[in-house]
Amino acid sequence: MSFLTPPHKALVWVDISKCKACDICVSLCPSGALAMVQNVNSTQGKTIEVIAQDSCIGCRDCELHCPDFAIFVTERSSEVKFAKLTEESKARALAIKNNKFNKVGA
Ligand code: SF4
Ligand code: SF4
């Protein structure tokens, strides 16, 4: 499967096999769409997860800054609708950052 083809019409998706759990994408995401979650099967003990797909605003900051080319954002088109940045999504992003980039409540 090509990771340049969005799985299940996802707006943002990750190739977990390439992710080194560096937190960079989570630290940059303005909408709280991404967070680290515990994963005992990962070398780092955690992996990235897209936790709020519907909040992604399509800014591509995650994709452009990932050192391992592990995260992808779909292309804008007439069929693709990204969210607007809301107070709720900004608050979730701040809560995740204050929780050392981990999913809040996990
Ligand atoms: S920036 Fe890339 S390598 Fe780092 S946590 Fe995000 S997806 Fe994984
Ligand atoms: S494209 Fe922007 S809003 Fe969407 S997950 Fe990446 S950093 Fe977050």
Domain ranges across the chain: 9-98
Token digits of residue 24: 């960079």
**What was the pLDDT predicted at 1?**
43
Looking up tokens 């954002």, which residue turns up? 73
**What was the pLDDT predicted at 77?**
86
In the structure, which protein residues have their CB atom closer than 6 angstroms to any atom of ligand 1?
14, 19-25, 48, 66, 68, 70-71
Q: Which ligand is nearest to the CA of 12?
A: 2
Ligand 2, residue 57: give the atom nearest the CA. 3
pLDDT digits (tens, 9 = 90+) for 48-85: 999 999 999 999 999 999 999 999 999 988 888 899 99
Dmax of the chain from CA atoms? 40
What percent of the chain stands above pLDDT 70? 92
Assign domain 9-98 to its CATH architecture: 2-Layer Sandwich (3.30)
For ligand 1, the distance from its centroid to the CA atom of residue 82, given in whole angstroms, is 21
Q: Is the pLDDT of residue 2 over 50?
A: no
